[in-house]
């Protein structure tokens, strides 16, 4: 399977837009400035486990690592700390947040609740264009799981992008920028745990079966079933991660 430019395959206009409310997250900035670039690089290295939980993030070392000036690196660390993606360590500066079962469950529980609110609104408001966007996003992610079984390292990031695009499309008719903002922030924190505990070879196939059921319920406008499935989808995988964490597997 040939990998594609993901940004060209997703119609981001399917999300309701407003002239008010938040416009994005620090880790998702377009990379127009050196601070944007530093933010993305630090966040990607945290997700990729190249920067480990509890590891100190020294601006001088990061500046050398990324060949970016000290000021943009410091700005990037402040941006990420505001969203909890980097932790301020007082006089010690910044560090990669530790992982914990309590945080994992808190993220999952809140995300499930907020995603159900957004999904109900999206099902109520969604039109034919929304339906087409959901189907297209499902089709894009459906092309990935078999490739993951052969080469998980090469296709894991493509799956992550398309997984988010599917959820983005599913909840895309929700009319609350603030609700969408908090869901996407929680999704980024979830991704940090998934990067450590998700088995892309097998878990992606299970997740895709759940995506199909979610899509079918949403398209037939069965909000109660869709929300039940969303809750099971979010919490089911997290319970498996919790067992791995409690058993000491990493």
Q: Could you tell me the two tokens for 114?
A: 């907020």
More confident residue, 29 or 213: 213
Biggest distance spanned by C-alpha atoms of the chain: 55
Question: Does the pLDDT at position 215 exceed 70?
Answer: yes
Q: Which structural domains are found in the chain, ordered by start?
A: 26-95 (1.10.10.10), 100-247 (1.20.120.530)
DSSP code of residue 99: P
Residue 46 is predicted with a pLDDT of: 92
CA 92 to chain centre: 29
Q: What is the pLDDT of residues 143-169, one digit of tens each?
A: 888 888 888 888 888 999 999 999 999
- Is the distance from CB of 96 to CB of 54 less than 8 angstroms? yes
pLDDT for position 9: 36
Give helix 152-170 / helix 203-219 axis angle, nearest 10°: 20
- Average pLDDT value for residue range 105-134: 97
For residues 215 and 5, give the distance between their C-alpha atoms in angstroms, rounded to a whole number.
24
State yes or no: pLDDT of 18 exceeds 70.
no
Closest of 5, 66, 58 to residue 38, by C-alpha: 66
| Distance between CA atoms of residues 34 and 63, nearest Å | 11
pTM here is 0.84
Q: What is the mean pLDDT of the chain?
A: 87
Q: Token pair for residue 147?
A: 């490739």
% of the chain residues with pLDDT over 90: 65
Q: What is the mean pLDDT of residues 45-56?
A: 91
Q: In what order do the strands lie in the sheet with 94-95?
A: 56-57, 94-95, 87-88
pLDDT of residue 15: 54
> Would you state the pLDDT for residue 245?
87
């Amino acid at each position: 399977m040939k990998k594609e430019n993901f940004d060209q395959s997703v119609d981001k206009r399917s999300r309701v837009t407003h002239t008010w409310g938040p416009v994005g997250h620090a880790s998702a900035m377009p990379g127009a400035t050196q601070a944007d670039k530093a933010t993305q690089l630090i966040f990607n290295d945290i997700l990729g486990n190249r920067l480990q939980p509890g590891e100190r993030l020294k601006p001088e070392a990061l500046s050398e690592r990324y060949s970016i000036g000290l000021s943009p690196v410091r700005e990037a660390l402040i941006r990420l700390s505001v969203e909890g993606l980097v932790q301020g360590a007082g006089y010690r500066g910044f560090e990669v947040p530790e992982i914990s079962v309590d945080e994992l469950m808190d993220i999952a529980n809140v995300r499930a609740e907020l995603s159900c609110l957004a999904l109900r609104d999206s099902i109520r408001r969604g039109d034919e264009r929304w339906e087409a966007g959901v189907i297209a996003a499902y089709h894009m992610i459906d092309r990935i799981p078999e490739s993951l079984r052969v080469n998980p390292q090469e296709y894991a990031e493509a799956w992550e992008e398309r997984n988010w695009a599917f959820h983005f499309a599913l909840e895309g008719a929700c009319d609350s920028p603030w609700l969408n903002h908090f869901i996407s922030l929680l999704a980024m924190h979830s991704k940090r745990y998934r990067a450590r505990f998700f088995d892309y070879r097998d878990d992606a196939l299970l997740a895709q079966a759940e995506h199909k059921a979610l899509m079918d319920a949403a398209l037939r406008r069965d909000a109660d079933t869709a929300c039940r499935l969303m809750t099971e989808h979010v919490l089911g995988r997290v319970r498996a991660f919790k067992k791995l964490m409690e058993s000491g597997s990493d």
